[in-house]
Structure 1
Amino acid sequence: MLWVAIIGLVATGVALALAGRRVAFLSRLATSGQPAPERLRYARENVGAEIKAQVVEVFGQKKLLKWTPSGTAHFFVMWAFFILATVYLEAYGALVQGAITGEPDFHIPLIGTWPVLGFLQDFIAVAALAGLVAFAAIRVKNSPKRLGRGSRFSGSHLGGAWLVLFMIFNVIWTLFLFRGASINTGNFPYRSGAFASELTARILPTSTLLEEIGLLLHIGVMLVFLVIVVNSKHLHIFTAPLNVLFSRRPDGLGAVPEMRSNGKVLDFEEADPEVDVFGRGKIEDTTWKGFLDFYTCTECGRCQSQCPAWNTGKPLSPKMLILDQRDHAFQVAPYLLAGDAQKDSYPQDVLALLEKPLVGEEGVIHPDVLWSCTNCGACVEQCPVDIEHIDHIIDMRRYQVMIESSFPSEAGVMLKNLENKGNPWGLPEGKRAEWIEELASREVDPIEVTMVDDKMPEDVEYLFWVGCAGALEDRARKTTKAVAELLHIAGVRFAVLGPMEACTGDPARRLGMEFVFDMLARQNIETLNEAGVRKIVATCPHCFNTLANEYPQLGGHFEVVHHTQLLAHLVEAGKLTPVTPIEEKITYHDPCFLGRHNKVYAQPRDIMATVPGVRTQEMHRCKERGFCCGAGGARMWMEERIGKRINTERVDEALTTDPDTVSTACPFCLVMLGDAINEKKNTGQAKETLEVVDVAQLLIKSVKGEPVASGPAGR
């Protein structure tokens, strides 16, 4: 048995040295990037939330189990790694004890002969084997050779995935070989419970040599697997818990992280482009958390399968965005870690690789990939290991916009309008009050809307943040007036800023122009604070998200609700009573910045459920899997020239429910879906009576018994 111990321990030392060398390299590469002290600080200050995340996401596999077949298979394979660690403890114990005493009958102290443990070890090994079969079937069924872009594995390193499945299979069969042989020689610690090992023992001869070979094979396979794992995509076995630990809470959606340079929040008044880092222009500008994202990507393609850009023929795959950066980082790593002193000795091809831009026609990421993103958050929502794809995209956009001045030309008009007029359309600020005049001048039931002059009146509870679209876009104005009237009927005192209101800065920030966002946000925060505003209701999910989640970064702390949340509360409280039936079949479209980014799914549906006569029909993709309208990420102000239009794809899906009305709760969605519906009407693919309306318009129609007025065509 001594020779077995020598071989096993020497092999272990070699494998650990190789794995350790790789881990040291990965660590040095990650820490060569930008610091991210906020990640460490949050983890320290929110221990309870981080423990919960580890229990729910890592051990409980919550995100993976959203996809039941593959999630269940992964659950058992993952737990096999934990539970079968006890088998390896027994194997090494047998190795050492056999060398010392000649009797490899080692068992774990206290629990080592407990039949329940033997059963659990065998059960999880068999379950993992079944999981491998499921994985193989899923990969064959979803092979890119069969499905092309339709496969979530398109672009993944398929050979590496099959190799890992093969290695896990080797772990399992060598486990049963070793344990079965141990049973026959009398060295097995469990007298019962280990059902699969006992079955294996029946077909094996009694042989000490076979037991020793089985022991070495089992340990050897594990050691080879370890070396493969730290050099492959399955590195996530070790990095996923870390990535979850240092991810943003409650998730990587909602607010865009502050712009940082060298770990500190960038002060635009003191910033120096020659010294400070503006976004991400080269791979070294990535933070260590960004590198951790690279290491953790499992290449499962869940993000890709849900991405509206990828699903409509555009080049953006969130998965490939991460993998392309990872592959480039590994290519240049030896030279980055060597330092600048050796650059003079590098050949031209190496220098060209080092100087390769992160974004560009010949860069790591093509501009069409970068600008296809709608910031819908489907990728972040679906990622089982908490990769924050949007953060990567925003950082690269920041560099392109603020340093390279390279972005779609039509978005430049929007930025100029934001700077000069405070709204994306460049309309005079006085037009923000036109809807107020329209309500006040109605012949029937005129409504006087209070406009903040200097301070919020004491008897006013909410500031109604109307937003640029709600004040200036014809279709969105109908929502604004409906909400104002509903609040008036419910007796809720509210006021508006009118011409003093400016764009929240969301389009600028999502485009990457952080400076313009900073300017607009500080201006609005100052206005709100001077007016004494504490509670805000907003109809636009983009405004809602920015006011609630991003303004606190600049000191703007307000209680912000979306109009559907407030209206649902007023209906529940009996202050609004839908009475007139609306005999229509309605399908609801979840706005991304209301749903995925802020988890508001129930209230819009609750409102519709209270309206008599309404029959609701969900689209196939809804709630957390809802499909984007195409307007987010500043895409509202960019032309869609590649592939199928996202709003057309969404309306095609809505039409499969044969609705009388499409409802939503966002002015951007209202415009985008309305445009697509009008196109369908023009080609005879949609009935002429089909309209898209806000849920507030449905509610006012039922409360007052008045028809919902349709908006004009055009954008």
Structure 2
Amino acid sequence: MLNVVLGISTVVIGLAAAVMFGLAVAKIVRTVRLGRPVEPERKGPFGQRLTTVVIETLGHTRMLKWRWIGVAHWFIMVSFPALVFTVIEAQGEVFDPKFTLPLIADSTIYGLFIEVIAAASLVGIVALLVYRLLNRRRGRSSRFANSRMWTAYYVESYILGLLLAIFVIRGFKVAMDDFPFPVWATPVSHAVGSVLSGNPDVALPGIVITAAFKLIISYAFFIVLALVLTMGVGWHRFTAPINIYFKRNADGAPSLGPAKPMMDASGTKPLDFEEADPDVDPFGAAKITDFSWKGLLDFTTCTECGRCQTQCPAWNTGKPLSPKKVVMDLRDHTYATAPHLLNGTTAESENVPQDVLALLERPLVGTDGAGVIDAEELWACTNCGACVEECPVDIEHIDHILDMRRHQVMVESDFPTEANSLLKNLEEKGNPWGMAANKRMEWISELDFEVPVAEDSLPEGTEYLFWVGCAGSLEDRGKKTTKAIAELLHTAGVKFAVLGQESCTGDPARRLGMEYVFQMMAEQNIETLNEIGAYRIVASCPHCFNTLGREYPELGGKYEVIHHTQLLAQLVESGKLTPVNPVEENITYHDPCFLGRHNKVYTPPREIMEKVPGVKTQEMHRCKERGFCCGAGGARMWMEERTGKRINTERVDEALTTNPDTISTGCPYCQVMLGDAVNEKKAKGEVKDTVEVIDVSQLLVRSVRKPEAATSDAGPAETPAAESPDAKNSDDA
């Protein structure tokens, strides 16, 4: 009688769970479809995108960065579909405790497969539970800070209960001598069986009750999911593969590099400001429906794991910004407003209850709790990309932050006051510092060789246009790097020319959210570059490198762009440049975010340092993919840090743990930010006066020069000239 009652009850609960889960899936689909269309290229090619999904899910490529946690999670992930067989088996066992699956019931391979998956998952889930309990005590430094812990504990408890039930049922069958699998294939089951009763009066009802327990908690899991649509830690099992499929890069690369362009209302082409209609075309994100449906899927998929948060430079230095919390808050707001929007209720509708009206009219960005996201959170982002790099389900945090910035800047005119000067300088002077255009040429007069300047066209035989950039031509430390690069190219016999009067690429304006100024500057530069025929460009600034090579193509500017460290590494490798003078220094290298994470250029700068005699290198704890930002990206270089510790100070503190004589980098922004932090510490007596921050090119030029010339910042080179090798547009990643 017991088995009949439990059997019928579990079937009823199972059917209810199936119906509720189906309705929940339909509601999520309808909610996600509230978003705007995505760029057409996200939908294909099918084969390549499907391959990426398989590699990232079955290969667990993102999760395995976290070593044992990734391994534990892999077994748990595999157990979710694999152990469905045991749930089906339990539905039969609750009616008949001696029920077995047909065909595979006596297969040792099946028995071994379930044993391994269940045992490894059991160890994994216990380890993750303990890790979560211990880690959350760390407060703000815990990656679980801001997470809703009950949802994670619920899911983990369900998995634990399911796995224990599997072994209890198997154990009872072992005790009754009704288990077809040998000890070597199922050792855990036999160990459990050795402590359970083999008396049929105990074992048979024990199997029925345990099977019913397994079914009830399994069906309850789907019911809870249906009731809590914002439980990313549960829903990601179903949404993550879809989210990965529609990521920006079909080849599987993290969604970094170029900023997502503003699209028109159709979502099929970039927004043309001359033709745009503000009443139709969204200028950034002012409300949930201004995000693309991929954005709403991002919010739905967040697992609240906190990996983005642990790597965020803003969060790590006491700022309020947590990429995880931003996504969670947007998710909660999405699913709070979606039922009303799906019913056709808007803020303009008649007879809208006050609480619903307040919800629908709540701005995405505000202060003192008025907005879904606090303005201080929004403007703390450096666009470093650490969040996107770490996210195991490919959420595109930067795109959503940038969309909200665009609305705040272009529609609300509400942004940090310091950025006013930045935009004014860009529009009036063509550079962020507001310096006169003729200042861009001054560094050339400090060299002892001629640098060709392209006016109407490139000089005959020019191999590269050297895009010096604003920092490289106007900022004193940047000019030293520029002169070092020019000297090295001259020494190697590379025929290059400069524009001299180029304007900023527009990167600071775009990352601030002022897309209009970016497009204006980009179109002007593209016209100039196309007129002079400059299609091979070497850039010293990673921001220029990223903008020229990855963002200008969307506006018609297609160039082969190489970073100076890539070109210099090629010249050293080919023998065109030969480091001979020893540089007896301990050096640690700082990875610029827009060179490293955004464009996967990690190797060339390190190859250059390895070739310099006498140099001893030591990596910082956070380097390469997990490198820590200098604090300048996202237009933050022109905004004050008023909360928490300065990001550049945090990075220098980390660099100093390697006891360096020199901190090297490959970015003028990083050189300024890290240099300022070092100088501040020198003034306080916290670091020796000899510590300096230099570009890799400056290190190389010291070794390539003859000894008598080595003390000069940009003296003439005497190494015989040689031909330039072919440049490549990207690193080996």
* TMscore range, shorter length: over 0.9
Question: 2:89 matched to which residue of 1?
Answer: 90
Specify which of 100, 103, 106 is matched with residue 113 of structure 1.
106
CA distance in 2, matches of 1:651, 1:191: 60
Question: 1:134 matched to which residue of 2?
Answer: 127
Change (3 A) 1:137 1:103: closer
Question: 1:344 matched to which residue of 2?
Answer: 350
Question: 1:200 matched to which residue of 2?
Answer: 192
Question: 2:289 matched to which residue of 1?
Answer: 284
Three-state SS of the structure 1 residue aligned to 2:694 is strand
The alpha carbon displacement at 1:187 in A equals 6.4
Identity across aligned pairs (percent)? 55
The alpha carbon displacement at 1:320 in A equals 0.4
Question: 2:319 matched to which residue of 1?
Answer: 314
CA distance in 1, matches of 2:101, 2:537: 64
CA distance in 1, matches of 2:33, 2:549: 33
The alpha carbon displacement at 1:55 in A equals 2.6
Specify which of 368, 374, 383 is matched with residue 382 of structure 2.
374
Question: 2:62 matched to which residue of 1?
Answer: 63
Q: Is the 8 A contact 1:537 1:562 kept in 2?
A: yes
Change (3 A) 1:399 1:709: farther
Is 1:157 the counterpart of 2:148? The answer is yes
CA distance in 2, matches of 1:285, 1:178: 51
Three-state SS of the structure 2 residue aligned to 1:174 is helix
Question: 2:210 matched to which residue of 1?
Answer: 214
CA distance in 2, matches of 1:659, 1:46: 49
Q: Is the 8 A contact 1:698 1:708 kept in 2?
A: no
Three-state SS of the structure 2 residue aligned to 1:693 is strand
CA distance in 2, matches of 1:510, 1:652: 27
Paired residues for 1:220-231 under 5 Å: 220-230=216-226, 231=228
Give the AA of the match of 1:236: H
Question: 1:254 matched to which residue of 2?
Answer: 257
Question: 1:467 matched to which residue of 2?
Answer: 469
Is 1:243 the counterpart of 2:248? The answer is no
Give the AA of the match of 1:147: R
The alpha carbon displacement at 1:642 in A equals 1.1
Unaligned runs of 5+ in 1: 440-445
CA distance in 2, matches of 1:630, 1:271: 34
Q: Is the 8 A contact 2:464 2:496 kept in 1?
A: yes
Specify which of 359, 362, 384 is matched with residue 356 of structure 1.
362
Answer with 272-281 or 454-463: which moved more: 454-463
CA distance in 2, matches of 1:570, 1:586: 22
CA distance in 1, matches of 2:113, 2:462: 63
Question: 2:399 matched to which residue of 1?
Answer: 391
Specify which of 475, 490, 493 is matched with residue 492 of structure 2.
490
The alpha carbon displacement at 1:92 in A equals 4.4
For normalisation by structure 1, the TM-score amounts to 0.93
Q: Is the 8 A contact 1:107 1:189 kept in 2?
A: no
Give the AA of the match of 2:558: H
Cα deviation 1:381-435 (Å, max 9, x = unaligned):
1111111110111000000001001111111111111112211112222221111
Question: 2:654 matched to which residue of 1?
Answer: 653
Give the AA of the match of 1:517: F
CA distance in 1, matches of 2:321, 2:150: 23
Is 1:333 the counterpart of 2:338? The answer is yes
CA distance in 1, matches of 2:47, 2:211: 41
Question: 2:455 matched to which residue of 1?
Answer: 453
Change (3 A) 1:134 1:427: same
Question: 1:73 matched to which residue of 2?
Answer: 72
CA distance in 2, matches of 1:204, 1:553: 71
CA distance in 2, matches of 1:637, 1:607: 31
Question: 1:275 matched to which residue of 2?
Answer: 280
Question: 1:442 matched to which residue of 2?
Answer: none
CA distance in 2, matches of 1:184, 1:595: 58
Q: Is the 8 A contact 1:178 1:218 kept in 2?
A: no
Cα deviation 1:452-476 (Å, max 9, x = unaligned):
1222234111111111111111110
Three-state SS of the structure 1 residue aligned to 2:20 is helix
Give the AA of the match of 2:187: F
Count of matched residue pairs: 693
Q: Is the 8 A contact 1:456 1:495 kept in 2?
A: yes
Q: Is the 8 A contact 1:294 1:325 kept in 2?
A: yes
Give the AA of the match of 2:275: E
The alpha carbon displacement at 1:437 in A equals 2.2
Specify which of 398, 420, 425 is matched with residue 433 of structure 2.
425
For normalisation by structure 2, the TM-score amounts to 0.91
RMSD of aligned alpha carbons: 2.0
Answer with 656-665 or 341-350: which moved more: 341-350
Q: Is the 8 A contact 1:54 1:244 kept in 2?
A: yes
Give the AA of the match of 2:236: H
CA distance in 2, matches of 1:148, 1:7: 43
Q: Is the 8 A contact 2:126 2:160 kept in 1?
A: no
Cα deviation 1:514-573 (Å, max 9, x = unaligned):
111111111111111121122111000000011111111112111111000000000000
Give the AA of the match of 1:244: I
CA distance in 2, matches of 1:139, 1:696: 45
The alpha carbon displacement at 1:332 in A equals 1.8
Q: Is the 8 A contact 1:105 1:189 kept in 2?
A: no
Give the AA of the match of 1:80: S
Three-state SS of the structure 1 residue aligned to 2:443 is helix
CA distance in 2, matches of 1:436, 1:414: 26
CA distance in 1, matches of 2:64, 2:131: 15
Cα deviation 1:143-192 (Å, max 9, x = unaligned):
1xx32211111110011111111111111122223333445667656466
Question: 2:542 matched to which residue of 1?
Answer: 541
CA distance in 2, matches of 1:169, 1:238: 20
Q: Is the 8 A contact 1:585 1:660 kept in 2?
A: yes
CA distance in 2, matches of 1:219, 1:191: 26
Question: 1:54 matched to which residue of 2?
Answer: 53
Cα deviation 1:481-509 (Å, max 9, x = unaligned):
1101101110111111111x111110011
CA distance in 2, matches of 1:108, 1:43: 41
The alpha carbon displacement at 1:17 in A equals 1.0
Question: 2:522 matched to which residue of 1?
Answer: 521
Give the AA of the match of 2:135: N
The alpha carbon displacement at 1:196 in A equals 2.4
Unaligned runs of 5+ in 2: 715-733
Change (3 A) 1:533 1:290: same
Three-state SS of the structure 1 residue aligned to 2:363 is coil
Change (3 A) 1:537 1:112: farther
Is 1:266 the counterpart of 2:259? The answer is no
Three-state SS of the structure 1 residue aligned to 2:588 is strand
Q: Is the 8 A contact 2:302 2:395 kept in 1?
A: yes
Answer with 220-229 or 179-188: which moved more: 179-188
The alpha carbon displacement at 1:2 in A equals 5.6
Q: Is the 8 A contact 1:586 1:615 kept in 2?
A: yes
Three-state SS of the structure 2 residue aligned to 1:537 is strand
The alpha carbon displacement at 1:703 in A equals 0.3
Three-state SS of the structure 2 residue aligned to 1:344 is coil
CA distance in 2, matches of 1:4, 1:183: 23
Cα deviation 1:346-395 (Å, max 9, x = unaligned):
32122112111000111011110000000011111111111111011100
The alpha carbon displacement at 1:5 in A equals 4.6
Cα deviation 1:572-614 (Å, max 9, x = unaligned):
0000000000111111111110111111111101101100001
Three-state SS of the structure 2 residue aligned to 1:260 is coil
Q: Is the 8 A contact 2:42 2:247 kept in 1?
A: no
The alpha carbon displacement at 1:313 in A equals 0.8
Give the AA of the match of 1:454: D
Answer with 228-237 or 473-482: which moved more: 228-237
Give the AA of the match of 1:359: V
